[in-house]
C-alpha cells in the first residue's frame, strides 16, 4: 500500500489515501458524517454501480444514490440539474457530504454540484478510472461542458478527501485504462523525466506491480503544483502546466463531438501536437518528437486524428479555450522532455501546422 499524501492548502488541506480496497476507510468517512447528524448522498457512474454494487452497499449502506450515465455527455447542464434535484430530494444541508464515485465525468459533475448546492457542501472523490486517479480527482477543479467548449462552466472546490482504491481498476475496460495513461505520460513529460524514461522502457499495464507507485507519483506531482498555484493565476507556468496537450485535446473533443474521443485519447493526440509545436519553436528535436509519439502509441493511444477534422473549426474551438488571456492563447510547450513551460504569442501558423501534422484538414 502506498503512503498517504496530503494536499497542503491551509484550512482546505485534505488527504489522498491509497490502497487496494478502501471500502472500510470510505465507510468510516461516511459514518463520521452520519454520527454528527449530517446526511450522505452518493453520485455514481451507472457502470460502476453495476460492477461494484457490493462495495457501494458496504461503504454507504442505505444512503441515497444517483446513478449517472457513463460518458462525457453527462458533463452537461441537464445532468447537473438532475444531480442538484437529487441532492435536494435527499435533503442535504450544509453539514452534509456528497461522495462522487466514478471517473472524471462523475467527479467533475458531482464536485460542481457540491460546489453550487447551498453555495457549497463538502464532497469526497472516489475515482474509479486510471485517468481520474492520477489527475481529475485531485486539485479541486469541478465543472461541466457546454456546446461552446469543454469545462467552460465550473468552480474551484477542493474535496475533503480522495480515496484511490486500485482494485477498482480490475473492471476498467482496456480502452479506458489506455485513456488514463495519457495523463500519466503527461506528468512524465511536464515534470518527471525519469517517469517518462520508465514508460518508454516498459509500457505500463493494469496488472503491473508498480502501478500503484506510479499513480502516487503522479498525484504527488499534481499536489505540489496545486499547492503553489491553486487557482491557476500564475502569470507563467504554475497549474497551467497541467494542461500540456489539453489545448489541442479539448479542441478535438469539441469539434469531433463529446464522446467521439475519450478525453485521454484526445489528449494523446494533443501531446503529439504539443511536441510538434515545441519542435517548431526550437525546443525539441525530431528525435524527441518521435520518442513522445512512440510512448503514446505504445500505450494504445492515438497520435493522429482517426479522420480529418476541419482546421478552421479546431482553431475556433481553441480561441474559446479557458487559457485565453487578453485575447491571446497560451500554449504549454516542452522545453525538453521532462520540463514544460507556458508560452504566449505563439504564431498562429505554427499552431495550425502542428494541428495539420496530426491530421487536421
- Tens of each residue's pLDDT in the chain, 361 residues: 679 999 999 999 999 999 999 999 999 999 999 999 999 999 999 999 999 999 999 999 999 999 999 999 999 999 999 999 999 999 999 999 999 999 999 999 999 999 999 999 999 999 999 999 999 999 999 999 999 888 999 999 999 999 999 999 999 999 999 999 999 999 999 999 999 999 999 999 998 999 999 999 999 999 999 999 999 999 889 999 999 999 999 999 999 999 899 999 999 999 999 999 999 999 999 999 999 999 999 999 999 999 999 999 999 999 887 666 655 678 999 999 999 999 998 999 999 999 999 999 9
Residues, the chain, total?
Answer: 361
The confidence score (pLDDT) of residue 149 equals 87
The cell numbers describing 140, all together, are 479541486
Determine how many CB atoms are found less than 10 A away from the CB of residue 347. Answer: 10
Residue appearing with cell numbers 448522498: 41
Alpha helix ranges (H) inside the chain:
23-35, 46-51, 53-60, 77-89, 104-116, 130-131, 174-191, 193-201, 211-228, 246-256, 263-280, 286-298, 311-319, 348-357
C-alpha pair distances (Å), 185 with each of 133, 270, 319: 14, 12, 26
Q: Which CATH architecture has domain 5-171?
A: 3-Layer(aba) Sandwich (3.40)
3-class state of residue 6 by DSSP: strand
Q: What are phi and psi of 338, to 5 degrees?
A: 105, 0
Determine how many CB atoms are found less than 10 A away from the CB of residue 4. Answer: 14
The confidence score (pLDDT) of residue 321 equals 75
- The edge-to-edge listing of strands for the beta sheet with 97-102 is 5-7, 14-19, 161-165, 122-127, 97-102, 40-45, 65-68
Burial of 345 (0-12, 13-18, 19+ CB in 10 A): exposed
- CA–CA gap between residue 103 and residue 48 (Å, rounded): 9
Strands (E), 128-177: 141-146, 149-156, 161-165
- Whether the CA torsion 55, 165, 117, 50 is positive or negative: it is negative
CB distance 189 to 334 below 8 Å: yes
- CA–CA gap between residue 162 and residue 73 (Å, rounded): 24
- CA–CA gap between residue 284 and residue 306 (Å, rounded): 25
For the chain, domain boundaries: 5-171, 174-357
Residues contacting residue 353 through CB under 8 Å, at least 6 positions apart: 276, 280
State the pTM of this model. 0.94
- CA–CA gap between residue 171 and residue 52 (Å, rounded): 9
CB distance 301 to 178 below 8 Å: yes
CATH topology of domain 174-357: Dehydroquinate synthase-like, alpha domain (1.20.1090)
Amino acid at each position: 500500500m502506498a503512503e498517504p499524501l496530503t494536499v497542503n492548502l491551509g484550512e482546505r488541506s485534505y488527504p489522498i489515501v491509497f490502497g487496494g480496497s478502501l471500502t472500510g476507510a470510505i465507510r468510516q468517512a461516511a459514518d463520521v458524517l452520519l454520527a454528527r447528524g449530517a446526511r450522505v448522498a452518493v453520485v455514481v457512474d451507472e457502470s460502476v454501480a453495476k460492477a461494484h454494487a457490493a462495495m457501494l452497499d458496504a461503504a454507504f449502506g442505505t444512503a441515497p444514490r444517483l446513478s449517472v450515465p457513463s460518458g462525457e455527455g453527462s458533463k452537461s447542464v441537464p445532468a447537473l440539474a438532475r444531480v442538484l434535484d437529487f441532492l435536494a430530494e435527499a435533503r442535504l444541508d450544509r453539514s452534509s457530504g456528497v461522495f462522487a464515485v466514478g471517473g472524471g465525468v462523475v467527479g467533475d459533475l458531482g464536485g460542481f454540484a457540491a460546489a453550487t448546492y447551498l453555495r457549497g457542501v463538502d464532497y469526497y472523490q472516489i475515482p474509479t478510472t486510471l485517468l481520474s486517479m492520477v489527475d481529475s480527482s485531485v486539485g479541486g477543479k469541478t465543472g461541466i461542458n457546454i456546446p461552446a467548449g469543454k469545462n467552460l462552466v465550473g468552480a474551484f472546490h477542493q474535496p475533503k478527501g480522495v480515496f484511490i482504491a486500485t482494485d477498482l481498476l480490475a473492471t476498467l475496460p482496456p480502452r479506458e485504462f489506455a485513456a488514463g495513461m495519457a495523463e500519466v505520460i503527461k506528468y512524465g513529460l511536464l515534470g518527471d523525466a525519469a517517469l517518462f524514461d520508465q514508460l518508454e522502457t516498459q509500457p505500463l499495464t493494469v496488472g503491473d506491480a508498480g502501478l500503484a507507485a506510479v499513480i502516487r507519483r503522479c498525484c504527488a506531482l499534481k499536489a505540489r503544483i496545486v499547492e503553489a498555484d491553486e487557482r491557476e493565476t500564475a502569470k507563467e507556468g504554475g497549474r497551467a502546466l497541467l494542461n500540456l496537450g489539453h489545448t489541442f485535446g479539448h479542441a478535438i473533443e469539441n469539434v469531433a463531438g463529446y464522446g467521439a474521443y475519450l478525453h485521454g485519447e484526445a489528449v494523446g493526440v494533443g501531446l503529439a501536437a504539443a511536441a510538434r509545436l515545441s519542435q517548431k519553436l526550437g525546443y525539441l528535436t525530431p528525435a524527441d518528437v518521435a520518442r513522445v509519439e512512440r510512448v503514446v502509441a505504445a500505450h494504445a493511444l492515438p497520435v493522429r486524428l482517426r479522420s480529418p477534422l476541419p482546421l478552421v473549426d479546431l482553431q475556433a474551438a481553441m480561441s474559446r479555450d479557458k487559457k485565453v488571456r487578453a485575447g491571446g492563447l497560451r500554449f504549454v510547450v516542452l522545453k525538453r522532455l521532462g520540463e514544460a513551460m507556458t508560452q504566449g504569442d505563439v504564431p498562429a501558423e505554427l499552431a495550425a501546422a502542428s494541428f495539420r501534422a496530426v491530421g487536421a484538414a
